[in-house]
Chains A and B, each alone.
Chain A
């Protein structure tokens, strides 16, 4: 009997040891680093809803949000931005770092592609702007309307007739607008040397 209990304690002990190392210590270490150090604007309501839609649609399965240092690959040269730092994720819950690049990294998509119209077309029909794309179309985020029923607040998608054979006008639902607003807000292009200055100041 004592042997069985000893076994359970040993097995659980090993995992707890690993948990302290891999969960506990990073928690303490990163708690200090993940703060609003460079006045990154807090996401507005539409951007917050956009983040939710990003999460719900599983964008993370194909898009990473963690450009690597130039020693690891030409991420910066592709225009994906500088290497990510913990502070970049201060407002992200749940995190969406991602480990796949079926599509490009989106950490700085807002500064790389700042056109709202481009994003609205791309989400409706990715192949209208990128002919080799394997990204699914997100048609459920849009609705078709007769051209005479368009209201003043409707966000009309400027899509080529080739990709819209319905003869109707494609209007973005609120979800698509929020998602695009969120994507446009993804600009982590603030230089990290200012972070270091901040940390030094804090230590003093």
Chain B
């Protein structure tokens, strides 16, 4: 038996000392002296003080700007033409690959939400579609999860990133062809993976259902999309890398490590397998999807408002503490389970420590919008992104709370955890992606959105549906949790009492699905109308 605990204590002590020394060293070298100038790196020369939102027409933008200027803290207004795309040449270099990634992701979103709604209705009508294996609940659920996580959010995040990074390092995208081929392989992997699940080939682990051999396609194609982004960073024309680039660069380093270790067949066993499973599942959210969401928020909030981020130094603190703490929270999914106590304690401590990066990000995002909240509904892109940023703050604090033993005892094993997960991936990341898409597509094509009122309906259905989903399912989960702790209530009654909330979930989910239909239709109409407006983007 290894003296595990003493070894751990010594390692942790040494790591803390080393981290302290690195911090002192980097302070003395001036690595943290990044002032307001670094925060302006995402603007072209004359863009500070000029708002930008390609979903608004000339008059709307003019009145948006006039109202912005009335707030005292607004930077001195520049006289640039807000309708002009100052990054036109860079956008030309990313046009094709961004378009492929974004359109593919929307396809997986629509498919994934159909799977999701079917899964939900299976609870309400458990005798519906029970004659065929591929349509049973236990198959539809991983089809839903895999479509939305690996199809929708991963491809959307990569698409937004590959568009954003060249703009932030002020050079054209390198190795575009490699990324395009990578996109096609990723799509191919999705088709293979979902087909395999449909016919019963599964690895049988939540979040890791795709057979591991197919997973290797994602490792390869992920690298084919990641390498062009990292190469572009290498050829940068800026002195400092903006915080969004940090998040994206790190995510591209982290994901292959995670995915490879968790999918490695034949090594893991029993309880250790469960630990790896949840270490991976939480890191996909924390170190892959969250960086995409946060980097886009860090880009678009200042960009749309024409105003640099509130505190740039804070954003770097937020980044490093996220990396350090998020990577260790996974085992809070197994509190009370047959895992070593020290491991659970470690994950609870780091889950609570997550308050630091979340606060850093929250202060930055919300303080940048502070004073302008009245204006948020007037810019559709900003509305989506600010909503997403708010859900990030909420879901993260909820996550820290739920990791505490006493709270976990109540919510663990209940439907409330499903609601919480959806706040993270839908309320936070998906909302930010929606907003980003509405901004990016006009920029890379030069087209106008053909029916701008549809953006509003997309927002109402998505957020409204999600709130129905979240509120009812969380409350139902709370009731379920309380009843499960009460031995006087038998299990059949507990199930009966959750059923109304499962209905509400299906209704909320249906609204979310409808919002995606609106979104997909609008994007289709966008490309079909070819509604050219040269001032917006590509010539």
- Return B187 CB to nearest CB of chain A, in Å: 25
Asked if B277 and A136 sit within 8 Å, CB to CB, the answer is no
- Return B499 CB to nearest CB of chain A, in Å: 7
Against B, the Cβ 8 Å flags (1 = close, 0 = not) of A125-150 are: 11100111111111110000000000
- Return B500 CB to nearest CB of chain A, in Å: 12
| Interface 9-mer from B37-45, B95-103, B137-145, B298-306 | B137-145
What is the interface size of chain A, counting residues whose CB is below 8 A from a CB of the partner?
75
CA distance A60 to B333 in the complex (A): 14
Asked if A133 and B204 sit within 8 Å, CB to CB, the answer is no
Asked if A139 and B336 sit within 8 Å, CB to CB, the answer is no
Asked if B336 and A68 sit within 8 Å, CB to CB, the answer is yes
Asked if B272 and A27 sit within 8 Å, CB to CB, the answer is yes
CB contacts between A and B, total, < 8 Å: 229
Asked if B415 and A102 sit within 8 Å, CB to CB, the answer is yes
Q: Could you say which of B234, B272, B495, B499 contacts A26, with CB atoms under 8 Å apart? A: B272
Cβ-based interface call for A181 (8 A): no
- Return A116 CB to nearest CB of chain B, in Å: 21
Q: Could you say which of A12, A64, A72, A92 contacts B257, with CB atoms under 8 Å apart? A: A12
Against A, the Cβ 8 Å flags (1 = close, 0 = not) of B128-166 are: 001111001111011000000000000000000000000
Residues in B neighbouring A29, C-beta threshold 8 A: 2, 4, 340
Cβ-based interface call for A118 (8 A): no
Against A, the Cβ 8 Å flags (1 = close, 0 = not) of B199-233 are: 01011111000000000000000000000000001
CA distance A12 to B418 in the complex (A): 30
Asked if A140 and B338 sit within 8 Å, CB to CB, the answer is no
Q: Could you say which of A56, A62, A86 contacts B200, with CB atoms under 8 Å apart? A: A56
Cβ-based interface call for B407 (8 A): no
Cβ-based interface call for A167 (8 A): no
CA distance A90 to B269 in the complex (A): 8
Q: Could you say which of A60, A61, A77, A130 contacts B487, with CB atoms under 8 Å apart? A: A77
Cβ-based interface call for A32 (8 A): yes
Cβ-based interface call for B8 (8 A): yes
Cβ-based interface call for B491 (8 A): yes
Q: Could you say which of A18, A86, A97 contacts B327, with CB atoms under 8 Å apart? A: A18
- Return A185 CB to nearest CB of chain B, in Å: 16
List CB contacts (< 8 Å) of A182-204 with chain B: 203
Cβ-based interface call for B331 (8 A): yes
List CB contacts (< 8 Å) of A82-124 with chain B: 83-86, 88-90, 92-97, 99-104
Asked if A58 and B142 sit within 8 Å, CB to CB, the answer is yes
CA distance A55 to B208 in the complex (A): 13
| Interface 9-mer from B109-117, B248-256, B361-369 | B248-256
Asked if A135 and B126 sit within 8 Å, CB to CB, the answer is yes
Q: Could you say which of B233, B254, B268, B334 contacts A4, with CB atoms under 8 Å apart? A: B233
Against A, the Cβ 8 Å flags (1 = close, 0 = not) of B269-287 are: 1111111111100000001
> Which B-chain residue is minimally distant from A89 (CB atoms)?
B270
Asked if A136 and B270 sit within 8 Å, CB to CB, the answer is no
For chain B, what secondary structure do more than half of its interface residues adopt (helix, strand, loop), or is it mixed? helix
Cβ-based interface call for B417 (8 A): yes
Against A, the Cβ 8 Å flags (1 = close, 0 = not) of B1-21 are: 110100110000001000000
Cβ-based interface call for B496 (8 A): yes
List CB contacts (< 8 Å) of A30-77 with chain B: 30-32, 34, 55-62, 64, 66, 68-69, 72-74, 77
Asked if A23 and B487 sit within 8 Å, CB to CB, the answer is no
- Return A147 CB to nearest CB of chain B, in Å: 21
CA distance A56 to B436 in the complex (A): 37
CA distance A11 to B15 in the complex (A): 15
Residues in B neighbouring A95, C-beta threshold 8 A: 205, 268-271, 273-274, 277
Contacts A68-B337, A86-B271; is A104 near B253 (CB within 8 Å)? no
Cβ-based interface call for A164 (8 A): no
> Which A-chain residue is minimally distant from B199 (CB atoms)?
A56
> Which A-chain residue is minimally distant from B326 (CB atoms)?
A18
CA distance A66 to B2 in the complex (A): 26
Contacts A23-B261, A30-B271, A138-B136; is A11 near B253 (CB within 8 Å)? yes
Asked if B203 and A94 sit within 8 Å, CB to CB, the answer is yes
Cβ-based interface call for B339 (8 A): yes
Residues in B neighbouring A158, C-beta threshold 8 A: none
Asked if A15 and B287 sit within 8 Å, CB to CB, the answer is yes
Asked if B253 and A97 sit within 8 Å, CB to CB, the answer is no
Asked if A7 and B246 sit within 8 Å, CB to CB, the answer is yes
The interface centre, meaning the residue of A64, A130, A136 with most chain B CB atoms within 10 A of its CB, is A136
> Which B-chain residue is minimally distant from A33 (CB atoms)?
B271
CA distance A23 to B343 in the complex (A): 10
CA distance A93 to B138 in the complex (A): 18
Residues in B neighbouring A73, C-beta threshold 8 A: 336, 409, 484-485
13 chain-A/chain-B pairs, Cβ below 8 angstroms: A11-B323, A14-B324, A26-B343, A34-B270, A66-B338, A68-B336, A78-B491, A99-B206, A99-B334, A99-B412, A132-B496, A134-B123, A139-B131
Considering the complex of A and B, which 8 residue pairs feature the smallest CB-CB distances, nearest first?
Answer: A58-B138, A89-B270, A18-B327, A55-B204, A101-B413, A132-B496, A95-B273, A68-B336
